[in-house]
Amino acid sequence: MTRMSRFSRSKIKSVWKRIVLKLSGETLAGSGQHGFAAKPLEFIANEIKEASVCGCEMAIVIGGGNLVRGAEVEPVGIDRTSADYMGMLATIINGIAIQTALERVGLATRLLSALPMSQVAEPFIRRRALRHLEKGRIVICVGGTGSPHFTTDTAAALRATEIGADVIVKGTMVDGIYTADPMKSKTARRFASIAYADMLKKNLRVMDLTAITLSHEYDIPLVVFNVFKKGNLARLLCGEKIGTEIR
């Protein structure tokens, strides 16, 4: 019997009522650096479906780095503000992809955009987002903050404060925060937990400074975990110590 089947039968409840799941655009690209790959999209959708057994309300904030990165387009003569708007549009494309994958596995979703995009998404309105969450729908937040010069990490922190999320869980390709890049250093040590202040002192670049400051100010914890380890999201929501917690 798998762990998830035990979750299903015992109906374990989430330790949090409402969460924001932050996913980078790169998680949708698989082993490639750009575009989409079918396997990660399908895998993440199934992980979210299994985690829905825990019964918490979920909003997703998705990045756009698999399609456009401001740092990559600036050198060709595109100014930073325009590059950021291109990145916001990329998050909308990724949001549509995530929405399609989630609905394919039977989950109810709503796509809410910070940029007007009435043909494909509802506008992000706080009360509307809360209503969707209360009805058990997964709310996918795209378009970043709607303003240039802010990352989607900041968008995740902002949405978490707006909807009253208990935690931000950031799904990555590694199983937490390390003292150094675990892909490059064999001596890198993973933190089980760390304070926001200590993370800043150690210059651990997990999220940008604005996102960290906002999360710290509103006392919203952040958990960084490996979203590609099967069952991790469900175990995390149901109380297991997964990844690194930042408080």
The ranges assigned to domains in the chain are 16-246
184 has a pLDDT exceeding 80: no
Average pLDDT of the chain? Answer: 89
Confidence (pLDDT) at 68: 87
Task: Grade residue 117 by pLDDT with cuts at 50, 70 and 90.
Answer: very high
Confidence (pLDDT) at 5: 45
Confidence (pLDDT) at 32: 64
4 has a pLDDT exceeding 60: no
Confidence (pLDDT) at 1: 42
182 has a pLDDT exceeding 80: no
The lowest-confidence range among 28-32, 149-153, 163-167, 188-192 is 28-32
pTM: 0.90
DSSP assignment string, 109-173: EEEEESS--TTT-EE--HHHHHHHHHTTPEEEEESTTSSTT--HHHHHHHHHHHHT-SEEEEEES
Contact 34, 220 (CB under 8 A): no
Contact 21, 152 (CB under 8 A): no
Confidence (pLDDT) at 8: 47
Confidence (pLDDT) at 11: 57
* CA-based nearest residue to 191, from 180, 205, 201: 180
- Higher pLDDT, residue 106 or 193: 106
Task: Kindly state which CATH superfamily the domain 16-246 is placed in.
Answer: Acetylglutamate kinase-like (3.40.1160.10)
Mean pLDDT of 39-45: 95
* CA-based nearest residue to 167, from 208, 112, 234, 224: 224
The lowest-confidence range among 103-112, 148-157, 197-206 is 197-206
Confidence (pLDDT) at 178: 85
6 has a pLDDT exceeding 60: no
Confidence (pLDDT) at 98: 97
